[in-house]
């Protein structure tokens, strides 16, 4: 949790770069006599990568925390390429994280010589995290252990070193399959062909203005990896360089700490509609996190491990202020449009109140009548000025944009909490070359959609290692309980409640608008009848009430229009429908998770499916409200 007095900048992420590896084992495709040359090329890559990484961080130090930059290698420790890269990384000061396709003891049977097993154990001893995928008795290939390990390695890597001859994969999860997956994801690949071990080539769709929808590795052009490596590292690590995006990130870092006293007109509206009562927190907001670190640690009892500590010390403190900022700017945006539309209606009422000076029972001299008129006009001008001032401040301060950005950031960070438990990552597109565009519109035209939110979430996500666990029934059950408890249950309850409240608000705003539009019609009909009474019986009712009729038939529709504008701007009905659909989808996934037998692969699929559903809903929500910035009620 953020400590009192700290701003978001206190949680600037530590600079981190992750290197994965795939490649041939020692043997016909990677002969013993070629391995030293491959190792030397890998060492050169690490040396240049380290320098490029340091230069990039130094040039953008404002975006990162004060901790020294961290290089991480992710490897499965198979004989050959996996170990060459792991050893070279350790030699260059990198941390080692290991993803094994099976339990460490079972996987060791893959290595025949005592020396190979000893080297494997030594590397395990130097790893800060070892994720052992479950594999009962049987060959690893049949159990898809290598494929699963390769995909988790890619999820935890920014750049891939591949020692590959360009041939077909020898089995499921082979080098060719992993390289093809990396190409499809847009990950830069440093390719070393054992036939030419002294050189490295870059495979990367991220340096293309318009990559093909489906890329075949063999059709992808290559370039010299050493010549391009510095630029590739800069693209992967540095925040987006354009001024608009940089300013938004700096604004995020500079947000004042803690909760701010609210301006809860939106909450007042819901209370007036009898949707929900006003709460103390509407006026005196609290900065609370729904899942404190101690509660998260309690879900995974036992010795402390790196992932749990990274979630508690890095991820949760990053979620807390971001979520609070999203709530703050949502309140400002919503309260602003509620005030503007309501004030516009009140301004009309002020103008109509000027008619009151002509009423026969108002005994004022000319000066008094003019004074009342001046006061009413002054009030009307004050209201109109307030509307313009709020609109102008909201637009210049970016209340609408900040609300959408901070909410998206908080949601993506929150998803990492459960995705990390199964070695997965969010589906945020990988970084790619920034086209030479001068404006945001040009960036969009060049199909470069990266922004500060994606950069920040990736930067925080890099600090989460794979679980330091063996995947067994106990761990799978703990993960299932954690996901259901801290994610699905809360989201389902939230969406059920939100759907009910938003549907109720929509109905009452609609009915209120109908009444305010219908009442003038009834008043008008009554006035017409009174007029006929005047013609037939000489009744003075029509004459005596003419001012009231004019005021009511003009003012009430103005207030009705204000209610309808608030309903349209907030789109309560659509939000209610979307929330109910979300609750239903997540409830279906929760029911399936609870009914499933313990199977880690299926559990991981359920979790990623739930996150995909929440991400899709968030994207639709952002699209819906992205078209509704603050505007003048004109």
Q: Is the pLDDT of residue 494 over 90?
A: yes
Q: Which two tokens stand for residue 519?
A: 């009442």
The helix/strand/coil state of 433 is coil
Instruction: Name which of 48, 140, 97 is nearest 465 in CA terms.
Output: 97
- Decide which of 535 and 123 is more confident: 123
Q: For 256, phi and psi rounded to 5 degrees?
A: -65, 150
What is the structure's pLDDT at 517? 85
What is the structure's pLDDT at 358? 65
* β-strands 189-192, 201-203 pairing: antiparallel
Q: Is the pLDDT of residue 443 over 60?
A: no
pLDDT tens per residue across span 244-278: 888 999 999 998 876 666 678 899 999 999 999 98
Q: Is the pLDDT of residue 404 over 90?
A: yes
How far apart (Å, rounded) are the C-alpha atoms in residues 55 and 620? 39
For 63, which DSSP code? G
What is the structure's pLDDT at 7? 59
- Decide which of 546 and 423 is more confident: 423
Q: Sheet harboring 129-132: ordered strands across? A: 129-132, 95-100, 70-75, 16-23, 159-163, 189-192, 201-203, 222-224
What is the structure's pLDDT at 450? 57
* 449 band by pLDDT with thresholds 50, 70 and 90: very low
49 and 190 Cβ atoms separated by less than 8 Å: no
Q: Which two tokens stand for residue 364?
A: 């004022």
pLDDT tens per residue across span 244-253: 888 999 999 9
Please state, in angstroms and as integers, the Cα–Cα distance from residue 170 to each residue in 79, 174, 203, 214, 247, following that order.
15, 6, 21, 23, 49
485 and 593 Cβ atoms separated by less than 8 Å: no
What is the structure's pLDDT at 611? 94
Range of weakest confidence among 146-160, 188-202, 284-298, 299-313? 284-298
Q: What ranges make up the beta strands (E) of 60-194?
A: 70-75, 95-100, 129-132, 159-163, 189-192
Averaged pLDDT for residues 521-527 = 86
Averaged pLDDT for residues 511-526 = 88
Please state, in angstroms and as integers, the Cα–Cα distance from residue 377 to each residue in 229, 334, 346, 353, 551, following that order.
68, 27, 12, 10, 16
Instruction: Give the length of the chain.
Output: 634
Q: How far apart are the first and last CA of the chain?
A: 43
Domain architecture of the chain: domains with CATH: 8-237 (3.40.50.450), 265-423+466-626 (no CATH)
Q: Within 10 Å of residue 150's Cβ, how many Cβ atoms?
A: 25
- Decide which of 148 and 371 is more confident: 148
What is the structure's pLDDT at 151? 94
How far apart (Å, rounded) are the C-alpha atoms in residues 626 and 407? 12
b/e burial code for range 270-295 (CB count within 10 A of at least 16 → b): beebebeeeeeebeebebebebebee
Averaged pLDDT for residues 178-189 = 93
How far apart (Å, rounded) are the C-alpha atoms in residues 343 and 349? 10
What is the structure's pLDDT at 83? 97
Q: Within 10 Å of residue 364's Cβ, how many Cβ atoms?
A: 12
101 and 137 Cβ atoms separated by less than 8 Å: no
What is the structure's pLDDT at 436? 54
pLDDT tens per residue across span 8-27: 666 799 999 999 999 998 88
pLDDT tens per residue across span 185-240: 999 999 999 999 999 999 998 888 777 778 888 878 889 999 999 999 999 999 98
Q: Within 10 Å of residue 143's Cβ, how many Cβ atoms?
A: 19
Percent of the chain scoring above 70 in pLDDT? 90
76 and 98 Cβ atoms separated by less than 8 Å: yes
Averaged pLDDT for residues 451-465 = 94
What is the structure's pLDDT at 524? 84
Q: Is the pLDDT of residue 180 over 60?
A: yes
How far apart (Å, rounded) are the C-alpha atoms in residues 373 and 301? 73
Average pLDDT, the chain: 87
The helix/strand/coil state of 71 is strand
- Decide which of 599 and 355 is more confident: 599
Q: Is the pLDDT of residue 174 over 90?
A: no
* β-strands 201-203, 129-132 pairing: unpaired
pLDDT tens per residue across span 121-162: 999 999 999 999 875 544 444 457 888 999 999 999 999 999
Instruction: Name which of 236, 81, 231 is nearest 162 in CA terms.
Output: 81
Cα 16–chain centre separation: 20
* Per-residue three-class SS string for 241-284: CCHHHHHHHHHHHCCCCCCCCCCCHHHHHHHHCCCCCCCHHHHC
* β-strands 201-203, 222-224 pairing: antiparallel
Task: Quickly list DSSP for 364-428.
Answer: --HHHHHHHHHHHHHHHHHHHHHHHHHHHHHHHHTHHHHHHHHHHHHHHHHHHHHHGGGT----P
């Amino acid at each position: 949790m953020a400590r009192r007095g700290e701003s978001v900048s206190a949680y600037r992420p530590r600079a981190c770069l992750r290197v994965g590896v795939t490649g041939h084992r020692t043997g016909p495709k990677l002969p013993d006599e070629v391995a030293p040359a491959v190792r030397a090329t890998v060492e050169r890559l690490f040396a240049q990568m380290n320098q490029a990484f340091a230069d990039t961080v130094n040039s953008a130090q404002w975006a990162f925390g004060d901790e020294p930059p961290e290089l991480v290698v992710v490897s499965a420790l198979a004989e050959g390429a996996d170990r060459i890269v792991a050893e070279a990384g350790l030699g260059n000061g990198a941390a080692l994280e290991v993803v094994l396709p099976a339990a460490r003891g079972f996987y060791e049977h893959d290595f025949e010589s005592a020396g190979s097993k000893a080297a494997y154990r030594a590397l395990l001893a130097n790893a800060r995290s070892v994720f052992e995928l479950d594999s009962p008795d049987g060959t690893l290939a049949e159990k898809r252990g290598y494929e699963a390990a390769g995909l988790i390695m890619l999820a935890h890597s920014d750049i891939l070193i591949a020692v590959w001859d360009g041939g077909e994969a020898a089995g499921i999860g082979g080098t060719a399959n992993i390289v093809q997956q990396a190409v499809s994801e847009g990950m830069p690949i440093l390719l070393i062909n054992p036939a030419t071990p002294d050189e490295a080539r870059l495979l990367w769709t991220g340096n293309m203005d318009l990559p093909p929808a489906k890329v075949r590795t063999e059709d992808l052009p290559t370039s010299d990896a050493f010549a391009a490596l510095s630029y590739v590292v800069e693209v992967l690590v540095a925040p987006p360089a354009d001024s608009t995006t940089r300013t938004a990130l700096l604004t995020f870092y500079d947000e004042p700490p803690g909760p701010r006293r609210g301006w809860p007109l939106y909450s007042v509206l819901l209370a007036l509609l009898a949707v929900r009562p006003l709460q103390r927190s509407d006026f005196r907001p609290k900065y609370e996190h729904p899942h404190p670190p101690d509660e998260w640690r309690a879900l995974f009892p036992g010795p402390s491990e790196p992932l749990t500590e990274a979630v508690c010390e890095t991820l949760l403190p990053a979620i807390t202020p971001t979520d609070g900022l999203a709530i703050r700017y949502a309140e400002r945006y919503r309260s602003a449009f509620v005030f503007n539309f309501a004030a516009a209606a009140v301004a009309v009422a002020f103008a109509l109140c000027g008619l009151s000076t002509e009423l026969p029972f108002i005994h004022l001299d000319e000066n008094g009548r003019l004074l009342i008129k001046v006061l009413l006009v002054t009030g009307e001008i004050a209201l109109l000025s307030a509307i313009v001032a709020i609109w102008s401040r909201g637009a210049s301060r970016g209340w609408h944009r900040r609300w959408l950005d901070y909410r998206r950031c908080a949601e993506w960070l929150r998803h990492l909490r459960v995705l990390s438990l199964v070695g997965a990552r969010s589906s945020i597109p990988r970084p790619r070359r920034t086209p030479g565009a001068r404006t945001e519109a040009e960036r969009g035209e060049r199909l470069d959609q990266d922004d500060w939110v994606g950069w920040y979430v990736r930067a925080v996500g890099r600090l989460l290692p794979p679980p330091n666990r063996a995947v067994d029934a106990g761990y799978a059950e703990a993960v299932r309980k954690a996901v259901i408890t801290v994610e699905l249950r809360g989201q389902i309850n939230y969406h059920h409640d939100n759907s009910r409240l938003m549907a109720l608000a929509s109905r009452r705003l609609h009915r209120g608008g109908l009444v305010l539009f219908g009442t003038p019609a009834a008043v008008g009909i009554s006035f017409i009848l009174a007029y006929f009474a005047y013609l037939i019986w000489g009744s003075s009712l029509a004459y005596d009430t003419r001012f009231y009729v004019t005021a009511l038939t003009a003012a009430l529709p103005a207030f009705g229009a204000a209610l309808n504008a608030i309903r349209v701007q907030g789109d309560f009905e659509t939000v209610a429908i979307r929330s109910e659909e979300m609750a239903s989808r997540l409830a279906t996934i929760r029911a399936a998770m609870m009914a499933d037998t313990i199977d880690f692969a299926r559990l991981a699929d359920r979790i990623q499916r739930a996150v995909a559903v929440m991400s899709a809903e968030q994207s639709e929500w952002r699209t819906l409200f992205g078209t509704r910035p603050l505007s003048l009620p004109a």
